[in-house]
């Protein structure tokens, strides 16, 4: 049959849900040479962005030889068209490529980093920004994103905490579903990553070994990926790390038995960057052939960048380490993905001329504000409702548009990002703004630093409002950016000390991809906002919060530690036999610090105050818990209500709090509203000794609160039949 016929056979509908009939892919696979098959399993970077330790350089020769099945780090319809034309018109079978990119929080219009978006506790927002990002990406020819990143993280030393939904599996589940729906509902294939438990890497060091219990894996790290697969994710990426000595890239138990057999995943597994070749460094493969065989037999279909499949699988075949049938299975999955993406129907469906939609700047501005977490606000410092006559805008992150985009900024452009300085000039046109960067984010010459500190002090002394913009550079966050000290980099603490010493009220704006350890600053600043990295509309979003145009509604998706010594730290902890009691020596505590965090999971202030009254529950499974939330202040605001669960007596010791529901409620001053959550019987299930879900009838405590702070929870004892 002529090649056109094969491609016609595989032509599937435009939607992402239909898959080409297996018989058709099998026909095409049967027609392919070994080299062409291995070509479909090879993914190379086109280096529009460099996201790993090696670069591919000019890949057109390999494209022409049919030795590449997909490209990533390439975008723009012209470039995509040129590459696709080679694959479709200059190779023997003309099998189209698919094109991929890391689109984690926006394609060209950049939204807040995922950790900041998680702080919005709003699945509708999570889905909306994914949808907007997908629309922009598809207009630039991209078919698949390596997102959402779903690694639950409880260790802010780990730079990649910035890329995910925070510490809680319930939040991560909802985040997973929202993101997969948002991406794939708009035609962009999603690739949940990094499967699994990458966030538990030893000592917070990226790529380090992971040793967690089977229970922790099942209760904390796997559920978000299950949610993503149940939402129909078409691809998945294993983690670089090992799990109890078995690298995920070679982990058949998880990549085949759990993912495909138990969960029914029928998509494509794409290795992480060079990860297959790195199995030799893990020490589980003696050479490339063994590495390739391990990965293929574990269930990895596509080899990103390592060329281990191209070079190693022919040798592995000769050695009998793999069979041709195993290779054909992987090839058929890749072809099925391409059919689902509609690429056989029209390889140039995303490479032709298109009228790009207007960039979603308004959404980016609104999302930026939704991630800004008001940590402290002494004496109602914020909002600043009267425009200042003279404002000191101090610090290296006051006018740093590139850093506002954060890590993994896709095709985001710093020259299209709006930092705080221009935004304040816009909202306070009559204010005299003294902008003093004062010190660099890190490093700097002593003499220049002295001069910068002096200029900052002078500006603060003259001003009637002081905004201090401190924190991390985007490069200090994300992949390969673990930090052992979580204090302010460089001389920024000295800058903060100098400015605070003026006695002026200081609003501290923190930019970072993780909680930072600044114990004294929270007490000394008049107000503190965790801005994270807010994206292309960072400045306007922050200005909206500072002026009160938008009320702060974000809540911490991660526990904020007082000191690195408390890490790993999370609210969901089992009590142990000697829970902390400061009055009892022999209990679980530090002798030099309270166990409590700087700020609890779910912490975040509004510029009004809320009360929670009349907690009650009815039913024995399902059970409905309800409470009344009231706005007791003078400004409108949004409260986030959390419902935690605890089984006080169970066959397995349970964490004292486990999040089961959350919701946001926006109230005018004086308004009150009932908030009700219904828990199905299954919501009371926990994994038994054999790690099977089971409901133990009996007493349970439901805890309602505005955060995980134990002191502020309202508890209802219920009985599950
Ligand atoms: C990187 C990251 C992964 C990313 C991939 C492609 O090393 O680990 O998250 O999707 O390479 O850029």
The rounded Å distance from CA 210 to ligand 1 centre is 18
Residue 237 CA: which ligand 1 atom is closest? 10
Q: Is 146 in the pocket of ligand 1 (CB under 6 A)?
A: yes
Catalytic residue among 272, 301, 403, 683: 272
Residue 49 CA: which ligand 1 atom is closest? 12
The rounded Å distance from CA 147 to ligand 1 centre is 10
pLDDT value of residue 373: 98
pLDDT value of residue 2: 47
Decide: 530 and 509 in contact? Cβ < 8 Å: no
Q: Which of the residue ranges 9-18, 65-74, 143-152, 164-173 would you say has the lowest mean pLDDT? A: 9-18
- Among 47, 51, 161, 206, residue to substitute to test ligand 1 (most atoms within 8 Å of Cβ): 51
In this model, does residue 555 exceed pLDDT 90? yes
Q: Is 479 in the pocket of ligand 1 (CB under 6 A)?
A: yes
Pick the more confident residue, 27 or 147.
147
Instruction: Read off the pTM.
Output: 0.97
Q: For ligand 1, atom 10, which residue shows the shortest CA distance?
A: 146
- Separation between Cα atoms, residue 270 and residue 255, nearest integer Å: 11
Q: What's the pLDDT band for 9 if we cut at 50, 70, 90?
A: low
Give the rounded percent of residues in the chain with a pLDDT score beyond 90: 92
pLDDT value of residue 143: 98
Q: Is 273 in the pocket of ligand 1 (CB under 6 A)?
A: yes
pLDDT value of residue 3: 52
Q: For ligand 1, atom 11, which residue shows the shortest CA distance?
A: 273
- Among 102, 241, 271, residue to substitute to test ligand 1 (most atoms within 8 Å of Cβ): 102
- Among 49, 272, 482, residue to substitute to test ligand 1 (most atoms within 8 Å of Cβ): 272
Residue 52 CA: which ligand 1 atom is closest? 7
pLDDT value of residue 57: 78
Burial code (b: 16+ CB inside 10 Å, e: under 16) for 353-375 equals eeeeeebbeebbbbbbbbbbbbb
Region 61-84 average pLDDT: 95
Residue 149 CA: which ligand 1 atom is closest? 9
- What angle, 0 to 180 degrees and rounded to 10, lies between the N-to-C axes of helices 123-139 and 361-371? 140
Distances (CA, A) of 37 to 64, 80, 288, 294, 611: 14, 22, 18, 18, 63
pLDDT value of residue 14: 40
Q: For ligand 1, atom 12, which residue shows the shortest CA distance?
A: 51
- Count the Cβ atoms, other than its own, within 10 Å of residue 8: 13
Residue 102 CA: which ligand 1 atom is closest? 10
Tell me, yes or no, if 168 is annotated catalytic: no
Decide: 228 and 235 in contact? Cβ < 8 Å: no
Q: Is 52 in the pocket of ligand 1 (CB under 6 A)?
A: yes
Dump pLDDT digits (tens) for 292-346.
Answer: 999 999 999 999 999 999 999 999 999 999 999 999 999 999 999 999 999 999 9
Q: Is 160 in the pocket of ligand 1 (CB under 6 A)?
A: no
In this model, does residue 21 exceed pLDDT 80? no
Q: Which residues pair with 247 in a beta bridge?
A: 242
The rounded Å distance from CA 235 to ligand 1 centre is 14
The rounded Å distance from CA 356 to ligand 1 centre is 27
- Separation between Cα atoms, residue 7 and residue 94, nearest integer Å: 8
284-291 own/partner pairs: CB under 8 Å, 24+ apart: 284/246, 284/247, 284/250, 285/250, 287/312, 288/312, 288/315, 289/313, 289/315, 289/316, 289/319, 289/321, 290/316, 290/321, 291/250
pLDDT, averaged across the chain:
95
Q: What's the pLDDT band for 10 if we cut at 50, 70, 90?
A: low
Region 97-108 average pLDDT: 98
The rounded Å distance from CA 384 to ligand 1 centre is 41
If DSSP codes are grouped into helix, strand and coil, which group holds residue 436? strand
Q: What's the pLDDT band for 5 if we cut at 50, 70, 90?
A: low
Region 340-367 average pLDDT: 92
Region 577-585 average pLDDT: 96
Q: For ligand 1, atom 3, which residue shows the shortest CA distance?
A: 272
The rounded Å distance from CA 248 to ligand 1 centre is 14
In this model, does residue 15 exceed pLDDT 80? no
The rounded Å distance from CA 146 to ligand 1 centre is 7
Q: Is 193 in the pocket of ligand 1 (CB under 6 A)?
A: yes
In this model, does residue 352 exceed pLDDT 90? no
Helix (H), strand (E) counts: the chain: 22, 26
The rounded Å distance from CA 245 to ligand 1 centre is 21
Burial code (b: 16+ CB inside 10 Å, e: under 16) for 499-532 equals bbebebebbbbbbbbbbbbbeebbebbbbbbbbb
Decide: 669 and 634 in contact? Cβ < 8 Å: yes
Q: Which of the residue ranges 37-51, 227-241, 507-521 would you say has the lowest mean pLDDT? A: 37-51
Dump pLDDT digits (tens) for 624-637.
Answer: 999 999 999 999 99
């Amino acid at each position: 049959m002529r090649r056109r016929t094969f491609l016609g056979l595989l032509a599937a509908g435009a939607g992402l849900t239909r898959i080409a009939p297996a018989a058709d892919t099998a026909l095409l696979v049967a027609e392919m040479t070994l080299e062409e098959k291995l070509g479909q399993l090879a993914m190379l970077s086109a280096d529009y962005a460099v996201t790993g330790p090696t670069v591919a350089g000019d890949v057109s020769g390999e494209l022409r030889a049919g030795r590449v099945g997909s490209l990533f780090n390439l975008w723009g319809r012209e470039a995509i068209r040129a590459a696709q034309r080679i694959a479709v018109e200059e190779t023997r079978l003309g099998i189209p490529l698919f094109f991929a990119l890391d689109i984690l929080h926006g394609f060209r219009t950049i939204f807040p980093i995922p950790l900041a978006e998680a702080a919005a506790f709003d699945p509708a927002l999570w889905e909306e920004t994914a949808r907007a990002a997908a629309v922009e990406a598809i207009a630039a020819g991209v078919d698949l994103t390596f997102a959402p990143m779903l690694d639950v993280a409880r260790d802010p030393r780990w730079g990649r905490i910035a890329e995910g939904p925070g510490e809680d599996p319930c939040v991560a589940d909802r985040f997973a579903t929202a993101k997969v729906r948002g991406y794939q509902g708009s035609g962009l294939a999603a690739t949940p990553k990094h499967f699994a438990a990458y966030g538990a890497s030893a000592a917070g060091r990226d790529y380090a070994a992971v040793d967690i219990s089977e229970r922790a894996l099942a209760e904390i790290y796997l559920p978000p990926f299950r949610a993503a697969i149940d939402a129909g994710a078409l691809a998945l990426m294993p983690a670089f790390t090992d799990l109890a000595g078995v690298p995920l890239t070679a982990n058949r138990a998880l990549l085949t038995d759990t993912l495909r057999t138990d969960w029914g995943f029928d998509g494509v597994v794409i290795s992480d960057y060079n990860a297959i070749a790195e199995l030799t460094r893990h020490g589980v493969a003696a050479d490339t052939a063994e590495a390739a065989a391990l990965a293929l037999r574990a269930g990895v279909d596509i080899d990103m960048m390592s060329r281990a499949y191209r070079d190693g699988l022919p040798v592995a075949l000769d050695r009998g380490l793999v069979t041709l049938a195993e290779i054909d299975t992987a090839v058929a999955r890749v072809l099925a993905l391409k059919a689902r993406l509609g690429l056989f129907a029209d390889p140039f469906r995303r490479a032709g001329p298109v009228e790009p939609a207007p960039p979603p700047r308004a959404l980016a501005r609104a999302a930026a504000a939704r991630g800004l977490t008001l940590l402290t606000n002494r004496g109602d410092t914020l909002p600043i409702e009267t425009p200042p006559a003279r404002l000191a805008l101090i610090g290296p992150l006051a006018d740093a548009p590139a850093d506002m985009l954060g890590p993994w900024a896709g095709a985001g452009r710093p020259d299209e990002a709006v930092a705080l300085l221009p935004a304040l000039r816009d909202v306070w046109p009559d204010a005299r703004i003294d902008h003093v960067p004062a010190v660099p984010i890190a490093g700097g010459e002593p003499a220049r630093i002295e001069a910068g500190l002096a200029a900052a002090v002078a500006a603060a002394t003259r001003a009637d409002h002081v905004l201090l913009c401190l924190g991390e550079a985007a490069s200090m966050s994300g992949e390969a950016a673990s930090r052992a000290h979580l204090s302010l980099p460089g001389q920024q603490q000295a800058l903060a000390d100098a400015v605070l010493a003026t006695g002026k009220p200081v609003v501290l704006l923190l930019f970072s991809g993780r909680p930072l350890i600044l114990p004294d600053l929270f007490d000394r600043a008049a107000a503190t906002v965790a801005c994270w990295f807010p994206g292309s509309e960072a400045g306007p979003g922050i200005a909206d919060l500072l002026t009160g145009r938008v009320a702060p509604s974000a809540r911490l998706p991660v526990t904020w530690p007082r000191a690195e010594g408390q890490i790993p730290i999370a609210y969901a902890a089992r009590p142990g036999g000697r829970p902390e009691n400061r009055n009892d020596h022999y209990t679980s505590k530090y002798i030099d610090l309270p166990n409590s965090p700087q700020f609890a999971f779910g912490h975040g202030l509004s510029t009004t105050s809320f009360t929670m009254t009349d907690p009650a529950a009815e039913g024995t499974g399902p059970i409905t818990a309800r409470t009344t939330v009231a706005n007791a202040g003078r400004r409108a605001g949004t409260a986030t209500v959390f419902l935690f669960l605890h089984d006080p007596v169970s066959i397995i010791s349970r964490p004292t709090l486990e999040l089961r529901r959350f919701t946001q409620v926006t109230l005018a001053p004086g308004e009150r509203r009932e908030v009700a959550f219904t828990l199905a019987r299954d919501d009371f299930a926990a994994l038994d000794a054999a790690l099977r879900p089971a409901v133990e009838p009996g007493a349970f405590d439901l805890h309602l609160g505005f955060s995980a702070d134990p002191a502020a929870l309202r508890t209802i004892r219920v009985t599950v039949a």
